[in-house]
Structure 1
Amino acid sequence: MHGPVSAGWLLVALCAVTGGYCLLRMRSAVAEQRRAAGGEALMGFGMAAMAVPAAAVTPPRWAWLFYALVFGTAAVRALWAARASAHHLHHLVGALAMVYMAAVMAAAPGGGHGTGLPLVTGALLGYFAGYVVWAGLRLVPVPATPGAPVRAGATGWGDRPELARACRLSMGIGMFAMLLTV
């Protein structure tokens, strides 16, 4: 990632912590939650690795090609999983955005900062800006209505839907920040 070093390290920390929480969510008793958490953990750790400031480490070209291969595989898996759940379409867009950023960096001469296609970058920025707003609005608590059934408590902190939403929100913010540097 190119930009201020301190912002890069904060993004690395945010994405790594989010990836770690997603690994814990993989212990859920619900199979669909485990699958989604696995994809989100891969995305969090991959974003952390790609966000390491260029001033600290400049990865070789093959590293960017490796990222493109890993996230290309994740995109195919998300496309296959989208048959059962529309949530995986977001995973597909995220994986394709990672492939795009890795390809831009691999094509950059001498491992320098790559310049992406403005139309693709703009479309991805628009998508993730909208996603961040939508995910943020889902975190706003709604007042309870009288007579509404009370939801039973979650079995563990790894199964709490508000934490999963916060995790997705932070990854959306991270993806938006990474796309700004392309």
Structure 2
Amino acid sequence: MQHAALSGFPGWLLGALCAAVGAYCLLRVRTGPRAERAEMTGDALMGLSMAVMAPPSLMAVLPSWSGTVFAAVFTAVGVAALVLWRPPHRRLHHAVAAFAMVYMAFAMPTGAQHAGTGHGDGMAVGVGVPALTGVLLAYFAGYVLYTGATLVTAGPADAPGPVPPLGTFLTRACRIAMAVAMLTMLAAL
């Protein structure tokens, strides 16, 4: 995530977006339907962690072991997603997102790594595997397009039939925002 495209204001803006999504998901954990709470807890954790990982200047002050902590947390989230959550398609998406976060946690330079990079501006370039990054980029691009299409095809409010609750639309919009943030962070590797 230490690419010049995310340095300065864009990285902090991306971090603010992820923090807002994480905060909304935490609110939905408390007020939303009981059946969605585990999934929303995973979304909140993902959004808040992405908020920490997005700004390069914030990553520069984290200790060098923080990438390992992020990776351990997201490995646990990915395993929990595969084992505990339902339905299966959401389970798979959460597992892929957790895997992408583990991948980025290992690829991101943190405090001690910034000091020894030798770059004049103190920034380091991510060390991702191009083929894996490309696969993850394709997955999240497809997810954004598919989920965005479900929002658009929901129809106008005066259409016949039941209208899903507003929380359902906001949850989908939050997941789209996190997927776009994931695309941005992966592209910056």
TM-score (norm 2): 0.83
Provide the rounded CA distance (Å) in 2 between the counterparts of 1:110 and 1:97. 21
Among 172, 177, 184, which residue is 1:177 paired with?
184
Gaps of 5+ in 1: none
2:77 matched to 1:74?
yes
For residues 150 and 50 of structure 1, what CA distance do their matches in structure 2 show? 39
AA matched with 2:28: R
5+ residue gaps, structure 2, are 115-123
Q: How many residues align?
A: 176
Q: In structure 2, how many angstroms separate the alpha carbons of the residues matched to 1:56 and 1:74?
A: 21
Where 1:113 maps in the other structure, the secondary structure is coil
Q: Measured at CA, do residues 56 and 66 of structure 1 come closer, stay the same or move farther in structure 2, by a change above 3 Å? A: closer
CA distance in structure 2 between the aligned counterparts of 1:5 and 1:99, rounded to whole angstroms: 24
Map 1:5-84 → 2, pairs under 5 A: 5-28=8-31, 30-54=33-57, 57-82=60-85, 84=87
Q: Following the alignment from structure 1 to structure 2, what is the Cα–Cα distance between the partners of residues 30 and 63?
A: 33
Q: Deviations over 1:32-74 (max 9, x none)?
A: 2111110000000010011122377342320111111111111
Instruction: Give the distance between the partners of 1:84 and 1:161, measured in 2 at CA.
Output: 15
- My pick for the range that moved more, 47-56 or 169-178, is 47-56
Tell me the distance in 2 between the aligned counterparts of 1:35 and 1:46. Answer: 17
Whether the 8 Å CA contact 1:128–1:172 is kept in 2: the answer is yes
CA gap 1:135/1:99 in 2 versus in 1, 3 angstroms: same
Q: 1:113 aligns with which of 119, 125, 130?
A: 125
1:75-125 C-alpha deviation (Å, 9 max, x unpaired)? 111111256532121110000000001112269x82433311111000000
Change (3 A) 1:54 1:87: same
- Given the alignment of the two structures, is residue 123 of structure 1 paired with residue 135 of structure 2, yes or no? yes
> 1:143: how far off?
4.2
Q: Where do residues 72-111 of structure 1 align in structure 2 (5 Å cutoff)? A: 72-82=75-85, 84-105=87-108, 110-111=113-114
Q: Measure, in 1, the Cα distance between the counterparts of 2:70 and 2:101.
A: 8
Letter in 1 for 2:155: V
CA separation of 1:7/1:144 partners in 2, compared to 1, >3 Å: closer, same or farther? closer
Give the fraction of aligned pairs with identical amino acids, expressed as a percent.
Answer: 43
2-structure distance, mates of 1:53, 1:106 = 9
Equivalent residue, structure 1, for 2:118: none
- Aligned equivalents of 1:120 and 1:139: distance in 2? 29
TM-score, normalised relative to structure 1: 0.85
Partners of 1:150 and 1:114 in 2: CA distance? 47
1:82–1:89: 8 Å Cα contact kept in structure 2?
no
Q: Quick one: distance in 1 between partners of 2:186 and 2:61?
A: 18
